C-alpha cells in the first residue's frame, strides 16, 4: 500500500468546508476503485473564519447580515449553499443556528482526537451539529457530548476543554496556514506538494488526487 497524505485546512463553522469534506469523500471513493493500493491519510488543520469572534460566541444571523450586506443578500447566499449541500447529501438548516461559535475549543478537541488516532468521525459530527442541528459548537458541554458520541469519554473531554491545553498549538497551526498564503477555506494540501482551494466538485478533486500520486519534486502548496 502507498500512502497519500491529505491535509485539510478548515473551520467547523464554514459551510463550504462541510461541502468540501463530502466532495473529497466522493472523490476518494472513486480513487479507491481506481487505485486500491492507495491509502489516504487525512489530517485536519485549524482555521478561524473570524479570529475576533468573542469567546462566548455571538448571535448568528445578525453577524452574517452585517458581514454580507443585509437579510436579502444573506438569503441568496444561504440558498446557494443549500443547493450545493443537497448535491453532497447535506440538509443545511441555517434557521436553527442561534449562535456563531468561537471554534478554538472545537479545534482543540479535533487536535486531541487526531493525536489519539483520528478525527474524521468527530469532524463530521461537529459539522452536522453546527449546520443540521443548530447546536452551539463553541460550548464545552455540547462539545464533550459530541466527543462522547464518537467514542471518547465525556468527562475527560469536558475536563480537557476546561483548560487551555493545546490552545497554543492550534493557534500556531492557524498562523502557519496564513503564512503559507491560505486566506480562505476549505483548502486541501495533497502529498505536501499541491494545494486545492475551495469545495471543488468531486471530478476536479479526483483529478487533483490523481496528479498528486504522480512522482515529482516537493513544492510549496499551490493550486493543482
Residue 58 pairs in a beta bridge with: 100
* Extents of the domains making up the chain: 2-212
pTM, two decimals, is: 0.94
β-pairing verdict for 187-190 and 194-197: antiparallel
pLDDT of residue 216: 67
81-139 pLDDT, tens digit each: 999 999 999 999 999 999 999 999 999 999 999 999 889 999 999 999 999 999 999 99
CATH number of 2-212: 3.40.30.10
- pLDDT level of residue 202 (50, 70, 90 thresholds): very high
Amino acid at each position: 500500500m502507498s500512502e497519500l497524505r491529505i491535509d485539510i485546512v478548515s473551520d467547523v463553522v464554514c459551510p463550504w468546508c462541510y461541502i468540501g469534506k463530502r466532495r473529497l469523500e466522493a472523490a476518494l471513493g472513486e480513487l479507491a476503485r481506481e487505485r486500491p493500493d492507495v491509502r489516504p491519510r487525512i489530517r485536519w488543520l485549524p482555521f478561524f473564519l473570524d479570529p475576533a469572534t468573542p469567546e462566548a460566541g455571538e448571535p448568528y444571523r445578525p453577524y452574517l447580515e452585517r458581514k454580507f450586506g443585509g437579510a436579502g443578500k444573506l438569503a441568496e447566499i444561504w440558498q446557494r449553499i443549500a443547493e450545493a449541500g443537497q448535491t453532497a447529501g447535506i440538509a443545511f438548516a441555517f434557521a436553527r443556528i442561534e449562535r456563531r461559535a468561537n471554534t478554538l475549543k472545537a479545534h482543540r478537541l479535533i487536535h486531541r482526537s487526531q493525536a489519539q488516532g483520528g478525527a474524521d468521525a468527530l469532524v463530521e459530527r461537529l459539522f452536522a451539529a453546527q449546520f443540521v442541528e443548530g447546536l452551539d459548537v463553541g460550548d464545552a458541554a455540547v462539545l464533550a457530548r459530541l466527543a462522547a458520541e464518537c467514542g471518547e469519554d465525556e468527562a475527560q473531554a469536558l475536563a480537557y476543554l476546561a483548560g487551555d491545553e493545546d490552545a497554543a498549538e492550534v493557534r500556531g497551526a492557524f498562523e502557519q496556514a496564513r503564512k503559507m498564503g491560505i486566506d480562505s477555506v476549505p483548502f486541501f494540501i495533497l502529498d505536501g506538494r499541491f494545494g486545492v482551494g475551495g469545495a471543488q466538485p468531486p471530478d476536479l478533486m479526483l483529478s487533483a488526487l490523481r496528479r498528486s500520486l504522480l512522482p515529482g519534486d516537493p513544492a510549496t502548496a499551490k493550486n493543482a
